[in-house]
């Protein structure tokens, strides 16, 4: 069994913000694999289905970003999912907008949602797909930027990144590993 977590903030006001790239990528993944995310439990919204012949749970924590680890740890404990079978998808301001980076493990960097997940799991040894939304424009506060709406003129580029992020998740689950041994960079991987 695999757990795929998309990080973001619940609520209509956050639907198309930079900080919800994880939610939006999970939405694309759910559509590509016909998995409805429509059940509430474990402080989140989830759906179960199959990707590449593997049983998968798709999870959107509803705890708000800074407490995401609470929801994730509940699912991990309930299903006894090994950490190498959990993939977290999230926004990253340190990566160029519209590109993705895939890693088998690593630190949280500046991302508070990932800090929460790592804290609650007591480990950073799990795969992640980072969706680039950086850099923060000059004169913008970091928090204000990540909670701002993705401008219309950038939505097509970001949608392509969400598709590439979903494909990266599918590749990991299918056992195709991490190209180059470490990960990938670029909108088209």
Q: What is the pTM of this model?
A: 0.94
pLDDT at 177: 72
113 touches 77 (CB < 8 A): no
Round the CA-based radius of gyration of the chain to a whole number and report it. Answer: 15
Nearest residue to 124 via CA among 182, 69, 169, 70: 69
pLDDT at 128: 97
133 touches 146 (CB < 8 A): yes
Residues pairing with 4 in the sheet: 58, 87
The structural domains of the chain, ordered by start, are 2-186 (3.40.50.1470)
pLDDT higher than 90, residue 19: yes
- Convert the pLDDT of each residue in 115-141 to its tens digit: 999 999 999 999 999 999 999 999 999
* 3-state secondary structure at position 90: strand
Active site residue 19: yes
Residues pairing with 89 in the sheet: 6, 129
pLDDT higher than 50, residue 180: no
Of 19, 27, 62, 111, the catalytic one is: 19
Q: List C-alpha distances in Å: 1 to 11, 50, 116.
A: 29, 9, 23
46 touches 58 (CB < 8 A): yes
Angle between helices 68-79 and 112-121 (to 10 degrees): 40
pLDDT at 178: 65
- Convert the pLDDT of each residue in 73-85 to its tens digit: 999 999 999 999 9
Q: What is the C-alpha separation between 106 and 136, in angstroms, rounded? A: 22
């Amino acid at each position: 069994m695999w757990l795929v977590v998309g990080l973001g903030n619940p609520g209509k006001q956050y639907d198309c913000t930079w900080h919800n790239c994880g939610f939006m990528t999970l939405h694309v993944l759910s559509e590509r694999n016909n998995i409805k995310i429509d059940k509430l439990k474990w402080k989140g919204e989830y759906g179960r289905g199959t990707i590449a012949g593997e049983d998968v749970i798709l999870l959107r924590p509803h705890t708000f970003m800074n407490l995401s680890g609470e929801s994730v740890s509940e699912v991990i404990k309930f299903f006894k999912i090994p950490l190498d079978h959990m993939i977290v998808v999230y926004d990253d301001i340190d990566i160029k907008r519209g590109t993705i980076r895939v890693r088998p493990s690593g630190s949280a960097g500046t991302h508070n949602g990932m800090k929460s997940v790592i804290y609650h799991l007591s480990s950073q040894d799990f795969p992640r797909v980072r969706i680039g939304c950086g850099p923060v424009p000059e004169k913008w506060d970091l928090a204000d930027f990540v909670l701002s709406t993705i401008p219309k003129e950038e939505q097509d580029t970001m949608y392509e990144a969400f598709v590439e992020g979903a494909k990266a998740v599918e590749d990991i689950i299918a056992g195709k590993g991490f190209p180059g041994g470490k990960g990938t960079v670029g909108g088209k991987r």
